Structure 1
Amino acid sequence: MPPSATELAHAMAGAFNAGDMERVIALAGQAGDATDEGIQLLLGLAQQATGRYGQAATTFHHLAHRRPDASAYWNNLGVACRLSGDLSGAEQALAKAISLAPDDADVRYNLGLLYIQQRRWPLAREALLDAVDRAPQVIEARLQAAYACYVCGDNTCQEAMLDGAGDWPGQPGEQALVLSTMLSAQGDLEAALRTLARAQLPGEAAGDSLPLRITAQRVLLHERNNQLEPARRELAQLPLDALDRLPPDAHQARADVWRAHAALAMRGGAYGDAAALYRRALALADDDDTRVSAAFALASACDRLGRHAEAWQALETAHAGQVEIARNVLPELLAPGSQPLQMAEVDRAAHARWQPLPGPDSRHSPVFVVGFPRSGTTLLEQMLDAHPDFRSMDERAFIHELTERMEQVGQHYPADLANLTGAETDQLRAAYFRMVDRVLPDRGQLRLIDKNPLNMLCLPMIMRLFPQARIILCLRHPCDVLLSCSMQPFRSPAFMVLCSSLERLARGYVQAFEQWYRQVEVFAPRVLEWRYESVVGDLDRHLAQLAAFLEIDNAAPMARFAEHARNKRFISTPSYAQVTQGIHPRAINRWQGYRAQFEPVLPLLAPMIDRLGYRL
């Protein structure tokens, strides 16, 4: 006699718990027309576990319509649809599951994975943060939420999601690569390397490319942290002929290994070799991220070789890829006339309504280093950080985050700065220093250096909280600044859009400085202009001026900034390698090699070039 539904379900459960999914499916075949709910559930789970996603979707579809009030079945259907490629069906099923169980973290996690697959990054970030909020102990949800934040440029939430990640259990190889990238981006090289060391690798031959990719990642992590000897030791384990043994479709592994070899070729001055390797990586790039990374690196190699036309062509490829990335994060920024830079200012009449409030003196206020990106801010930061009286926290957006905090509690920035009480400004300063202390827990009484170029757009907040602060404005020839910005793979989606064309970037530059000068007229801050070209020409004199401005006695330690930078654990900005090499003039008038590309925007830039004291 055929087994009863109860007996069959019991046998299937035993096979399922033993991991024998094929037997589960075979036993389900004995059910005939039986529609036992338990049998159908085990069948669907086994079909999904064995990669029969379309069949699993059909099974869960029957279950969900049989029990439309069961959110778990809709959730299972959504997962099966997503894995089978039916993304529309997945979204409908998961929406139904959420309507039935709005607090179910698992459903929100699966919805976040769907949005990642659809590259709808803001929605993925929201869904995954919601999942973590409901189940903060689930590592998979934290990792995926961190990645969505990483893509969206939300560094604060990314760091919160990765709190303690260096001690997480080993992750599958692909996830370990992503996690190590994020940990490295926030300056935790040790945790990034531990993540790679613990990576779980598949045993079958198809996984042979993952060890190569992980080793290539270690090369790039060490190089990114100016640890060249460890990088070379890792690279020795990656002979290029090892790629010949890979399957023909192992594009990512080949690209990763070529990029690792190219990065150290660049450090060794072998720019031609690096360019050839980056070209090969670019030709095989399967996704926007790899394409963008290889194209920017190729542009840098070609620039060093003096092949300016080839460099610009590579930059056009890189920026086209970044536009596609940004389109999935902040599509509104691609609209005509949009403003990627967040600009808000206070006019004289509004400032006249500010009530005088007490604030710390200059020695108990941060020293703010501002200026348009790629104007020499990192160089100055390392000079100041080399002095024993100062401590830098690398580039942080804490002042900008305070403006967002005001908005979150219903206060409008900058208009409501006029209405803040002394207690409220104390609270904002305390919030600022809490963020600082998480980054620099051992700062003690050292004076803080807050280097963030675009704090130049946040002068109202700086002056409300730290009216006696010393501010250093870094200047460099605008065309050299714009060229350098164009050649950097910025992670911020807003900056991806800003740098997507030279005209857009030039307009943003001019608008930023026009606002700066209007706000300087309103607030009359204590500002020192620090001109890159003059510093290169006469470092000692300018260090003496800097010391006088900051009221310090001995400027000598700041002259040893290159040695100090070489010993630093991490420098987050694209200048991480340049600042270890000391002062050199080769970055001055570099833009002249690209004058043909700049000609259309020179009329737009000319008035600001003249105002800043430069010439065309």
Structure 2
Amino acid sequence: MPDPAAHLASAMADAYKAGDMERVITLAAQAVEEVDEGVRILRGLAEQATGRYDRAATTFRQLAHQWPEVSAYWNNLGVACRLMGDMGAAEQALAKARSLAPDDADVLYNLGLLYIQQRRWPLAREILLDAVDRSPEFVEARLQAAYACYVCADNTGQEAMLAGAGDWSAQPAEQALILAAMLSTQGDLEAALRTLARAKLPDPPADEQLRLRIAAQRALLYERSNEVELSRRELEQVPPAALDALPADASQLRAEGWRAHAALAMRAGAWGEAAALYRRVLALGVDAEARASAGFGLASACDRQGQHADAWQASHAAHAAQLEIAREVVPELLAQDSQPLQMAEVDRVAYARWRPMAAPASRQSPVFVVGFPRSGTTLLEQMLDAHPDFRSMDERAFIHELTERMEQVGQHYPADLANLSGTEVAQLRETYFRMVGRVLPDLGQRRLVDKNPLNMLCLPMIMRLFPQARIVLCLRHPCDVLLSCTMQSFRSPAFMVLCSSLQRLARGYVAAFEQWFRQMEVFAPRVLEWRYESVVENLDGQLAELAAFLEVADASPMARFADHARTKRFISTPSYAQVTQGIHPGAVNRWQGYREQFEPVLPLLQPMIDRLGYSR
């Protein structure tokens, strides 16, 4: 005679495999009180799959207490508790599961998801990277680890996690939207669009809002890549009337749609229309990232209309939203006396201990474009990239990453630069070019342009690896630089903190240049000062001086930078649209419209204004 319990368990297993979770639960209700372990597992999984998280938690808690040595039961309990919103119980259960199975990637993944839900981003990043380390083919863990790296501005980690992501299988629509956003920040527009095209949508009617979100994101991707006409076509699928007709709980979709319409209005010079759209986004009560994006957009739209007080107020609100993000990632930097910029320098005595060693000649070294952000570095980068002898790689932190690699192997930067052997320096140089090769596999004989503004703070590393390199320091009136930083959204949490107040930003600017000048005295590098205002006044003359400095015979291709920039699919910095439009005389002395706001920091800035050759 067949065993009724075994028959029940078999029927439940068949229903579970068929995806009929309601039948699994109905069959489980027929079980006697002392139910089989397998029956209880299936019941708990079915309860979780159907959104009965409290019941699933009860089921898995019973299993975990009866078999406390089984990590899977604690893992399932943690997932159920997280989904029902009991974060404390979830963390306790997952910590227990981890103690029983420290190398279980699934447990680490679920713990990482918990930390993401709690917005404990550094912890989420650490634990999810650990999960991927144990199971490199765990795609869901790679995606979530990349997202945590993205929020923490760990660009290297994000790129490593997303290696090959363009070939991943289709993702659920919500995850596809996140993945596409991250791929676009890496400049891989094709992979981002392919991810959205393959997104798995839920059944109707839940699919309609996600279709609109995907269309809005595609529009933003095209606009971000200077494909304005394609962006307009995409946005035709998200008409304002459709956004207005959405239910009250569709605030995220509304925000994304209106933001896409606002971006195109800005492109068309319809500043008033853009400002109205950004205000609509801000009225929705969306999350900090969306508020910051809309706030900076509103600031720009108001600034273009000469509404300086409104622009400043919008910018201030945007920075407040960004501080909410930074507080979750770098809380230690929020102290009033913290220094968000990482500064390390070498004095004359330490430099005297450096061993002389062979190094690449000037033409075999990168051309480094440095300067404080918003000083015209992207403009110069595109000028150089327009010349057939040069290739730029967009903005990469490879030099800074080399300093971190030294620290990871127990070498202190910059002190231990003096102790490196020729072999170790060569290895660092090889590591640098290996990273470059992943971005520019076809560099060939062309000269590399390494444009990263804050490489000005990494001069010791540059001089150890490439002492013959040509360095171009981009300058612009300090007040124009700080105003532009104040009006822009930066992804780096540390830079969010730096730009959170004009006083703090001014201190950081002065500190950066004071260090630069001290290091200039120590290393005496080959530097050309490239002044934005001089470029506006006399482009041909400045290009001739640049060509002579870089030993280039013909500077004329550099003058066609705007045409060249329009052919590029992606430019990562906030200047992605401006550089396609040529030189902007209106950017000179723009800060005068905000002089009232600058008056309190002018005494702090004045010595540097004088030293850099500017006057009030």
TM bin, normalised by shorter chain, reads over 0.9
Cα offset, 1:206, TM superposition: 2.9
Map 1:380-391; keep pairs closer than 5 Å: 380-391=380-391
CA distance in 1, matches of 2:450, 2:324: 32
Cα offset, 1:22, TM superposition: 1.4
CA distance in 1, matches of 2:84, 2:234: 39
CA distance in 2, matches of 1:199, 1:278: 28
* Cα shift readout 1:451-472 (whole Å, capped 9, x = no counterpart): 0000000000100111111100
CA distance in 2, matches of 1:276, 1:203: 34
CA distance in 2, matches of 1:399, 1:491: 19
Q: Which residue of 2 aligns with 1:581?
A: 581
User: Across the two proteins, how many residue pairs are aligned to each other?
Assistant: 616
Query: Is the deviation greater in 20-29 or in 488-497?
Result: 20-29
Q: Does 1:34 align with 2:34?
A: yes
* Cα shift readout 1:142-184 (whole Å, capped 9, x = no counterpart): 1111100000000011011111111112111111111111111
Aligned amino acid, residue 298 of structure 2:
L
Cα offset, 1:13, TM superposition: 1.5
Q: Which residue of 2 aligns with 1:442?
A: 442
Q: Does 1:452 align with 2:460?
A: no
Q: Does 1:58 align with 2:58?
A: yes
CA distance in 2, matches of 1:574, 1:500: 17
Q: Answer whether contact 1:417 1:464 (CA < 8 A) is retained.
A: yes
Q: Which residue of 2 aligns with 1:195?
A: 195
Cα offset, 1:5, TM superposition: 2.5
CA distance in 1, matches of 2:380, 2:157: 28
Cα offset, 1:135, TM superposition: 1.2
SS of the residue corresponding to residue 340 of structure 2 reads: coil
SS of the residue corresponding to residue 472 of structure 2 reads: strand
Query: Is the deviation greater in 36-45 or in 259-268?
Result: 36-45
Q: Answer whether contact 1:403 1:413 (CA < 8 A) is retained.
A: yes
Cα offset, 1:368, TM superposition: 0.5
CA distance in 1, matches of 2:542, 2:135: 54
Q: Does 1:11 align with 2:11?
A: yes
Q: Runs of 4+ in structure 1 displaced over 4 angstroms?
A: none
Cα offset, 1:2, TM superposition: 12
Q: Which residue of 1 aligns with 2:232?
A: 232
CA distance in 1, matches of 2:3, 2:503: 75
CA distance in 2, matches of 1:2, 1:332: 65
CA distance in 2, matches of 1:568, 1:366: 21
Query: Is the deviation greater in 555-564 or in 1-10?
Result: 1-10
Map 1:391-402; keep pairs closer than 5 Å: 391-402=391-402
TM-score (norm 1): 0.99
CA distance in 1, matches of 2:70, 2:21: 24
CA distance in 1, matches of 2:294, 2:44: 42
Q: Which residue of 1 aligns with 2:370?
A: 370
CA distance in 1, matches of 2:420, 2:435: 21
CA distance in 2, matches of 1:425, 1:244: 60
CA distance in 2, matches of 1:432, 1:342: 20
CA distance in 1, matches of 2:210, 2:124: 26
Q: Answer whether contact 1:226 1:566 (CA < 8 A) is retained.
A: yes
Query: Is the deviation greater in 104-113 or in 35-44?
Result: 35-44
Cα offset, 1:584, TM superposition: 2.0
CA distance in 2, matches of 1:68, 1:238: 52
Q: Which residue of 1 aligns with 2:570?
A: 570
CA distance in 2, matches of 1:601, 1:143: 43
Aligned amino acid, residue 138 of structure 1:
F
Q: Which residue of 2 aligns with 1:610?
A: 610
CA distance in 1, matches of 2:336, 2:303: 31
CA distance in 1, matches of 2:222, 2:131: 34
Aligned amino acid, residue 556 of structure 1:
S
Q: Answer whether contact 1:370 1:453 (CA < 8 A) is retained.
A: yes
Map 1:313-328; keep pairs closer than 5 Å: 313-328=313-328
Query: Is the deviation greater in 84-93 or in 331-340?
Result: 331-340
* Cα shift readout 1:235-259 (whole Å, capped 9, x = no counterpart): 2222211124322211111111111
Q: Which residue of 1 aligns with 2:529?
A: 529
Cα offset, 1:3, TM superposition: 7.3
Q: Answer whether contact 1:252 1:285 (CA < 8 A) is retained.
A: no
Q: Answer whether contact 1:5 1:34 (CA < 8 A) is retained.
A: no
SS of the residue corresponding to residue 283 of structure 2 reads: helix
Q: Does 1:182 align with 2:186?
A: no
Aligned amino acid, residue 311 of structure 2:
A
Q: Does 1:542 align with 2:534?
A: no
Cα offset, 1:537, TM superposition: 0.3
Cα offset, 1:570, TM superposition: 1.1
Aligned amino acid, residue 359 of structure 2:
G
Q: Answer whether contact 1:255 1:285 (CA < 8 A) is retained.
A: no
Q: Answer whether contact 1:262 1:278 (CA < 8 A) is retained.
A: yes
Q: Which residue of 2 aligns with 1:512?
A: 512
Map 1:230-379; keep pairs closer than 5 Å: 230-379=230-379
CA distance in 1, matches of 2:185, 2:149: 12
SS of the residue corresponding to residue 459 of structure 2 reads: helix
SS of the residue corresponding to residue 608 of structure 2 reads: helix
Aligned amino acid, residue 289 of structure 1:
E
Q: Answer whether contact 1:259 1:278 (CA < 8 A) is retained.
A: yes
Aligned amino acid, residue 374 of structure 1:
R
CA distance in 2, matches of 1:414, 1:248: 55
Q: Which residue of 1 aligns with 2:479?
A: 479
SS of the residue corresponding to residue 586 of structure 2 reads: coil
* Cα shift readout 1:537-591 (whole Å, capped 9, x = no counterpart): 0001111100110111111111111111111121110000000111120111111
SS of the residue corresponding to residue 473 of structure 2 reads: strand
Query: Is the deviation greater in 492-501 or in 11-20?
Result: 11-20
SS of the residue corresponding to residue 586 of structure 1 reads: helix
Q: Which residue of 1 aligns with 2:108?
A: 108
CA distance in 2, matches of 1:550, 1:394: 19
* Cα shift readout 1:374-419 (whole Å, capped 9, x = no counterpart): 0000000011111111111111000001111111111100000011
Cα offset, 1:19, TM superposition: 1.5
SS of the residue corresponding to residue 587 of structure 2 reads: coil
Cα offset, 1:525, TM superposition: 0.5
Aligned alpha-carbon RMSD (Å): 1.2
Q: Which residue of 2 aligns with 1:81?
A: 81
* Cα shift readout 1:66-92 (whole Å, capped 9, x = no counterpart): 000000000000000000000110100
Map 1:88-237; keep pairs closer than 5 Å: 88-237=88-237
SS of the residue corresponding to residue 461 of structure 1 reads: helix
Instruction: State the percentage of identical aligned residues.
Output: 77
Q: Answer whether contact 1:208 1:246 (CA < 8 A) is retained.
A: no
CA distance in 2, matches of 1:343, 1:369: 18
Query: Is the deviation greater in 247-256 or in 513-522?
Result: 247-256
Q: Answer whether contact 1:506 1:605 (CA < 8 A) is retained.
A: yes
